[in-house]
Amino acid sequence: MRQELPREQFVEALMPEDQLSMEQIDVLLGAAVAAPSMHNTQPWRFEVNGTVIDVFVDGSRALPAEDPTGRAMRIAAGAAIFNLRCAAAALHYDSWYGLVPDPADLDLVGRIVLQPTDSPNRELRELFDQIPRRHTSREPVRPVKVPTDSRVALTRAAMAENAELSWLPPDQVHEVLGLLIDTDLREIGDWHRRAERAHWVGGDRAVDGIPSSVLGPKSAVYPAPVRDLGTKPADQTRARTTFEADPVLAVLSTAGDSLAEQVAAGLGLQHSLLVATRDGLKAAFLNQPLEFDDLRRKVQRITGKPGYAQMVIRFGHSTVRATTPRRPVSAFVHTGSEEQS
């Protein structure tokens, strides 16, 4: 699946002749911005020149208390790049990409080059249909097993993007749940983190952030297999329910932790989330331990494998829909034609 652009082609692509129409840009970027992002900050922007799309992280939408290094922003940008590739295939384009940590512009995380084709990548084209159906679900899941076939397909999807998905056996699941207590204790005295979350989470949200309506119920047991992101008093009094006692958790990791590998984790995340959606699975995230370096190392150690944990994902079957808003595409995009006019 990973297609690195040969250097000569990459340079040629900097002087594109073809132009994407505004309708095509709408489809491509509409798909990109449907990607998940921490607290739904949508921390990305795009520059379209001919058939080249540059993807940047948007530092004005950073989370300095909870994501001081910008790792979560790069994961979100990687997920947006994967969606872009799916949309490109749906529009009959091949897409090559380079994950380019450019020392001159560290905000530039990826360049995607499109080329018309009669035979677009079939898997990407099919996954395009899953983009509007995918959303994070913090609801209890049905007591149905995640079939082995789905686990294999999700693992392969992550692997195709140079990431690894490790499914945790029950003992390891409970070790990870134990780390959630550590993170909660650390957070109690950290008003920066709580204030940042209150800024992005809760209430009615028209274009970004997480509305109260998708927080899911509170858990009757502690620690819960979904993260309770509620900070506002009204969110603290929402209904309680019983979640599954044996959650299905997987850790997404990368071999190293370079900027490009964090972006690749985002591609791996989105590839596996879209395959999960196709298989009727919903995902939620328990990333709070990954926001502390020592606990992040512990999570990786729990998997028994080398590497760097990037996401802790809980999978399950649920039919509840929970959609979050997005800013309009026009808020993210800058096109070469704007410069000329």
Ligand X SMILES: Cc1cc2nc3c(=O)[nH]c(=O)nc-3n(C[C@H](O)[C@H](O)[C@H](O)COP(=O)(O)O)c2cc1C
Which one of the spans 98-106, 157-165, 235-243, 281-289 is the region binding ligand X (CB under 6 A)?
Answer: 281-289
Question: Which of 58, 105, 103 has its CA nearest to residue 80?
Answer: 58
Q: Cβ 14 to ligand X, closest distance in Å?
A: 29
- H or E element that contains 80: helix 71-90
Question: Which of 128, 271, 139 has its CA nearest to residue 213?
Answer: 139
Which one of the spans 37-45, 47-55, 80-88, 105-113 is the region binding ligand X (CB under 6 A)?
Answer: 37-45
The answer to whether 287 touches 226, Cβ cutoff 8 Å, is no
Q: Cβ 36 to ligand X, closest distance in Å?
A: 3
Angle at 258 (CA atoms; ends 254, 263), nearest 5 degrees = 70
Q: Cβ 137 to ligand X, closest distance in Å?
A: 8
Gap between the Cα atoms of 6 and 9, Å rounded: 5
Gap between the Cα atoms of 47 and 30, Å rounded: 14
Q: Cβ 7 to ligand X, closest distance in Å?
A: 30
Residue closer to ligand X, measured from CB, 50 or 268: 268
Does position 250 bind ligand X by CB under 6 A? no
Residues 6+ apart with CB under 8 A from 323: 135, 214
Size of the site for ligand X (CB under 6 A): 19
Residue closer to ligand X, measured from CB, 243 or 285: 285
Q: Cβ 49 to ligand X, closest distance in Å?
A: 27
Gap between the Cα atoms of 64 and 91, Å rounded: 37
Which one of the spans 134-142, 147-155, 235-243, 248-256 is the region binding ligand X (CB under 6 A)?
Answer: 134-142
Residue closer to ligand X, measured from CB, 73 or 114: 73
Gap between the Cα atoms of 180 and 236, Å rounded: 18
Q: Cβ 74 to ligand X, closest distance in Å?
A: 9
Which residue in 63, 165, 251, 284 binds ligand X (CB under 6 A)? Answer: 284
The answer to whether 210 touches 201, Cβ cutoff 8 Å, is yes
Does position 202 bind ligand X by CB under 6 A? no
Gap between the Cα atoms of 329 and 341, Å rounded: 20
Which one of the spans 31-39, 91-99, 119-127, 255-263 is the region binding ligand X (CB under 6 A)?
Answer: 31-39
Does position 72 bind ligand X by CB under 6 A? yes
Which one of the spans 38-46, 100-108, 176-184, 217-225 is the region binding ligand X (CB under 6 A)?
Answer: 38-46
**Which residue type, as a one-letter code, is found at position 68?**
P
Gap between the Cα atoms of 97 and 3, Å rounded: 6
Does position 183 bind ligand X by CB under 6 A? no
**Nearest residue to the partner ligand X, using Cβ:** 36
Which residue in 97, 167, 285, 315 binds ligand X (CB under 6 A)? Answer: 285
Which residue in 32, 40, 84, 89 binds ligand X (CB under 6 A)? Answer: 40
Q: Cβ 151 to ligand X, closest distance in Å?
A: 21
Does position 295 bind ligand X by CB under 6 A? no
Give me the residues paired with residue 101 across strands: none
Gap between the Cα atoms of 51 and 227, Å rounded: 40
**Which residue type, as a one-letter code, is found at position 164?**
E
Does position 77 bind ligand X by CB under 6 A? no
Give me the residues paired with residue 98 across strands: 111
- What is the rounded radius of gyration, in angstroms, for the C-alpha atoms of the chain? 20
Angle at 272 (CA atoms; ends 76, 324), nearest 5 degrees = 50
Does position 229 bind ligand X by CB under 6 A? yes
Give me the residues that bind ligand X (CB under 6 A), please.
Answer: 36-40, 72, 75-76, 135-136, 138, 210, 227, 229, 284-285, 287-288, 324
